[in-house]
Amino acid sequence: LGAPGLLPAGGSGPWPPAEGLRGGQRQPRGLGHVLGCCGLLELDPRPGGSSGAHGTLVGFSPQQRPAKRSKCRQLFRSPSMPSSVIRPILKRLERPHDRDTPVKTKRRRSVAGTPGEVAEPKARLMRSRSFCQEEIENMLANDHRELIGDFSKAYLLQTVEGKHQDLKYISPEMMVAVLSGQFSSFIESCVIVDCRYPYEYEGGHIKGAVNLPMEQDVEEFLLKKPIVPFDATKRVIVIFHCEFSSERGPRMCRFVREKDRACNEYPHLHYPELYVLKGGYREFFPQYQAHCEPQDYRPMHHADFKEDLRKCRLKSRTWAGERSRRELYSRLNNC
């Protein structure tokens, strides 16, 4: 029943308009109503014909069934329509021939199998690698993303999706934009926290990054004497990363936010704008070696530093245990 060209020329469908629906909307009914409006299919036994069934649809009203076959073939006729309105079988819809219409109609394959007209490929848009001050101001003015931790303004840097949905990730390209000073009119201080172990950091790191592998190191560096901007209109941002920015970097970012919340009255924060470098140093180094010193990459599981890895992990677990005990004692004292 849903084939093209089955609706009457006047726009009336096989079902009468339902009462109570605005705009002349029609409500589909059960199968019995459809059969009551349709003609009866009669088989036409023809001598010498093919084995397939030939049939005509004979229309009838709900009051009576005509015994004679209708002269004109039709699929169905609405009881509300006059009998003089007869529709052709499988009439095709007229398709627009204007190719410049906003929405082009589908091109079907021809009978001979000639492929239809192939759509022209769309031009690929490339992201700009530099940001002028006017573009940044427009981006901030029209930004509808989430606000930073103290809800005072929107995030300055363009973020990307990462492993942890509660954190804000930036791409290596955005990191280079910050390092090259493209956001200097908005950022007073940018702290890059390298959360890798010391032997990894010494093997190669981003220029200007500080190595803070332990939570006590981060707390001492950032929270004991918080960095306060001299210009209140500018920002202090902190970017965390480790080798892959999968575990150590995100964990340290959450630790700073947790401690920052604890020592401030909500929603005020010392560092409301925190980011994580997506892909970590492993993804940053091959693309931007000029921004690294020394220009090398030493993985955590390096064959020559197995003993260093063991010591660093032991120290990290020891610190985590001491922290848990201190928090437990603090809770007991507050009870």
The Cα 149–Cα 282 span in angstroms is 28
For 99, phi and psi rounded to 5 degrees? -80, -10
Omega into 267 within 30° of 0, i.e. cis?
yes
Residue position matching structure tokens 């989430």: 146
With a CB cutoff of 8 Å and minimum separation 6, the contacts of 66 are: 58, 60
Quote the tokens at residue 274.
């925190």
219: left (phi over 0), alpha (psi -120 to 50) or beta: alpha
Nearest CA to 218 out of 195, 242, 250 is that of 195
With a CB cutoff of 8 Å and minimum separation 6, the contacts of 21 are: 27
Q: Which residues are catalytic?
A: 242
In three-state secondary structure terms, 277 is strand
Quote the tokens at residue 205.
């790191």
- What's the gap between Cα 129 and its chain centre? 22
The Cα 111–Cα 113 span in angstroms is 5
Quote the tokens at residue 195.
């959360």
Q: Output the CA angle 222-191-310, nearest 5 degrees.
A: 75
